[in-house]
């Protein structure tokens, strides 16, 4: 599976990840991920998925049930080291047909710099309890 | 608050994190965390907590309701860079009085190497759906 896109920064990877999610584009989504057996993905309410192939299958199932999504991000945090970045964010996801947002999701995203530039190595998302959102979302995306 | 313990490796931080969790020891727990405004903690089913002080308060609440826990870890993964490590694991948590395990929890833990050695910068935990556990836990801890 060709996966030759080069991302020059973790911010570029994160932008590409959420663009792929919005457009339900499996090839764009998998270009974001490191092709590694130990990459990890937890979708909201789901199990821990380990490895590039398993994660690809899971995104294919998600995208089979949705045509286009709208994702707004708020309250971003970041911790950066020379070869890795931890980003956390609240995701506000809705469908294009229905602007009503679903419950927000807290996501922890980890990006690592390798020989082929920056790639995602972990995405862990979980639903946020509705009574814990103290702040209106700042729209970043 | 003194936080002078030096951890020489991410594995040392992870061991200390789970020992502090088992013993419900707030000082040991907070010695594990980087004293940073952007550290992030998501407890199972909970909101995203940002910053050392907020995270301390949350662990104090957890520990106020439990005396001693038993934590077994299984199915660990790791991705390591020179200054950061991403570890994921399934946690099997029970109380000392009741050996029946609660539902497993998927945890993503991120450790960063700073001037004071390795520290935890992110802990994101979420319940695993009961029908998704395909493998008996390997006991690591």
Sign (positive or negative) of CA dihedral B29, B34, B35, B38? negative
With CA atoms as reference, the chain B residue closest to A39 would be B79
- Higher per-residue pLDDT: A86 or B137: A86
- Higher per-residue pLDDT: B21 or B136: B21
- Helix or strand or coil: residue A103? coil
| Closest-CA distance of chain B to residue A111, Å | 10
Which of B124, B130, B137, B138 best probes binding to A when mutated, by most A CB atoms within 10 angstroms?
Answer: B124
Quick one: how far is CA A66 from the chain centroid? 16
Nearest to B47 by CA among A75, A72, A46, A141: A75
Which of A75, A77, A137 best probes binding to B when mutated, by most B CB atoms within 10 angstroms?
Answer: A77
| Closest-CA distance of chain B to residue A40, Å | 8
Q: Inter-chain contact B86–A48, Cβ cutoff 8 Å?
A: no
| Closest-CA distance of chain A to residue B38, Å | 6
In DSSP notation, chain B reads ------BSSHHHHHHHHHHHHHHT-HHHHHHHB---TT-EEE-TT--EEESHHHHHHHHHHHHHT-S-EEEEEEEEEEEEETTEEEEEEEEEEEESS-------EEEEEEEEEETTEEEEEEEEEEEPPGGG--SPPPP--
- Higher per-residue pLDDT: A39 or B135: A39
Task: Specify the CATH number for A10-132; select among 3.10.450.50, 3.40.50.1470, 3.30.2130.30, 1.25.50.10.
Answer: 3.10.450.50
pLDDT of A115 higher than 70? yes
Q: What is the pLDDT of residue B130?
A: 80
Q: What is the pTM of this model?
A: 0.90
**Mean pLDDT of all residues belonging to chain B:** 89
Q: What is the pLDDT of residue A3?
A: 59
Range with lowest mean pLDDT among A6-10, A125-129, B63-67:
B63-67
Q: What is the pLDDT of residue A104?
A: 92
Q: Inter-chain contact A79–B122, Cβ cutoff 8 Å?
A: yes
Which of A50, A85, A122, A128 best probes binding to B when mutated, by most B CB atoms within 10 angstroms?
Answer: A122
Q: What is the pLDDT of residue A20?
A: 97
- Encoded tokens for A30: 């998998």
Q: Inter-chain contact B84–A84, Cβ cutoff 8 Å?
A: yes
Q: What is the pLDDT of residue A136?
A: 41
pLDDT band of residue A106 (cuts 50, 70, 90) is very high
With CA atoms as reference, the chain A residue closest to B37 would be A77
pLDDT tens, A56-86? 999 999 999 877 889 999 999 999 999 999 9
DSSP assigned state of A9:
S
pLDDT band of residue A26 (cuts 50, 70, 90) is very high
pLDDT tens, B88-125? 999 998 876 766 667 799 999 999 999 889 999 999 99
pLDDT of A141 higher than 90? no
Q: What is the pLDDT of residue A4?
A: 75
With CA atoms as reference, the chain B residue closest to A84 would be B84
Span A109-132, average pLDDT:
93
Which single residue is written with the structure tokens 């109380």? B95
Residues in chain B: 141
Q: What is the pLDDT of residue A67?
A: 77
pLDDT of A12 higher than 60? yes
Q: Give domain limits for chain A.
A: 10-132
Q: What is the pLDDT of residue B68?
A: 85
pLDDT tens, B52-84? 999 999 999 999 987 788 999 999 999 999 999
Q: Inter-chain contact B86–A36, Cβ cutoff 8 Å?
A: no
**Is the CB of A83 inside 8 Å of chain B's CB atoms?**
yes
**Is the CB of A122 inside 8 Å of chain B's CB atoms?**
yes
pLDDT tens, A30-59? 999 999 999 999 999 999 999 999 999 999
CA distances from A94 to A14, A27, A53, A102, A141 (A): 19, 21, 27, 6, 13
With CA atoms as reference, the chain B residue closest to A133 would be B47
Top CATH class, B10-130: alpha beta
């Amino acid at each position: 599976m060709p996966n030759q896109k080069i991302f020059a920064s973790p911010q570029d990877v994160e932008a590409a990840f959420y663009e792929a999610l919005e457009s339900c584009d499996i090839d764009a989504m998998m270009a974001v991920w490191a092709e590694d057996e130990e990459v990890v993905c937890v979708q909201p309410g789901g199990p821990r998925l380990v490895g590039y192939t398993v994660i690809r299958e899971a995104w294919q199932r998600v995208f089979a049930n949705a045509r286009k999504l709208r994702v707004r991000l708020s309250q971003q945090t970041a911790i950066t080291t020379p070869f890795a970045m931890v980003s956390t964010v609240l995701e506000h996801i809705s469908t294009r047909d229905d602007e009503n947002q679903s419950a927000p999701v807290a996501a922890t995203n980890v990006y690592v710099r390798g020989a082929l530039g920056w790639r995602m190595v972990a995405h862990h998302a979980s639903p946020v309890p509705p009574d814990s959102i103290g702040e209106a979302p700042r729209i970043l995306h």
